[in-house]
Amino acid sequence: MSSKREQLAQWSTLVADTGDMEAIRTLTPQDATTNPSLLLAVAQDTRHAALLDDAGHLARQLGRDDSLALRCDAFATLTGQVILGTIPGLVSTEVDARLSFDTLATVERARGLIALYRELGVDTDRILIKIAATWEGIQAAAILEQEGIRCNLTLVFCLEQALAAAQHCATLISPFVGRIYDWHVKRGLEVSGPDNDPGVQSVREIFHTLKSQGLDTIVMGASFRTVTQVEALSGCDRLTISPALLEALHADHSPLTRQLDASEVPLGEATPLLSEAAFRWAINDNPMASDLLSDGIRRFARDQEALEQLLA
């Protein structure tokens, strides 16, 4: 019997949720995702000290050695370049989370990341620009997608975020399983299995809704806590999984059953285009989504600031 990882890869594209280049080389995923927290971990690892120097050199080469923002983006793109050398697919690189409520600033920063990748000779068709799924972030993604810059809308915690991103033609969305699970468990929910796991159920709802409406946006389950959560979403378009869980799937050779299949989702009526007011009310009226979106942005912003201090 093949491993559960091999079985899973028949139905879902596997993505490494790490910036650790050694782990990526060992795990050989199709794609990889990064974020400020993962990049900070790379920057603090002495094995990758040369990347910090290279980021400063690239900033000086571009005549902007005084820009911490440019140094951080240079470090992110240099890390992305190394990762792309070890995987066949895509890498996601995130815009500074502190711009999550500024559409035009997000667009400009994303264009800058793509320009840096081009400066490094990287094929930008292999890059996804990662943006928080705020209303402003979704509008920025719509502009970038029209320019041919593909986007990954992250920190998705409810159906309305997913729908708005898909309606604005985002290439990919990342609904978070583990953080939704954590939020409910902290409030006393007893989770006895995937059918009672609010994180798993959220991604299943998003997957079925987008597929039933014929929306092309890729659904990538993210932020897993357990192998059981991963298995419960087998068949989702993509799954971004930590090295520890990928290794656990590789070591397990028991049978795995497919849970999601887009070809079996019947087409239904399209949801009307979500307005800004409807989107904002939906987030406001959902304590879990409101809490987790704000908390996720704050966490990424703090790690961005820590990365800046390392590069200063």
Q: Compute φ and ψ for 55, nearest 5 degrees.
A: -65, -45
Of these residues, 4, 130, 186, 211, which one is catalytic? Answer: 130
3-state secondary structure 107-156: HHHHHHHHHHHHHCCCCHHHEEEEEECCHHHHHHHHHHHHCCCCEEEEEE
4 catalytically annotated: no
Rounded to whole angstroms, how far apart are CA atoms 307 and 164? 31
Task: Report the distance separating Cα 256 and Cα 249, nearest Å.
Answer: 10
User: Could you give the CA distance from residue 9 to residue 110 in angstroms, rounded to a whole number?
Assistant: 30
Enumerate the active-site residues: 130
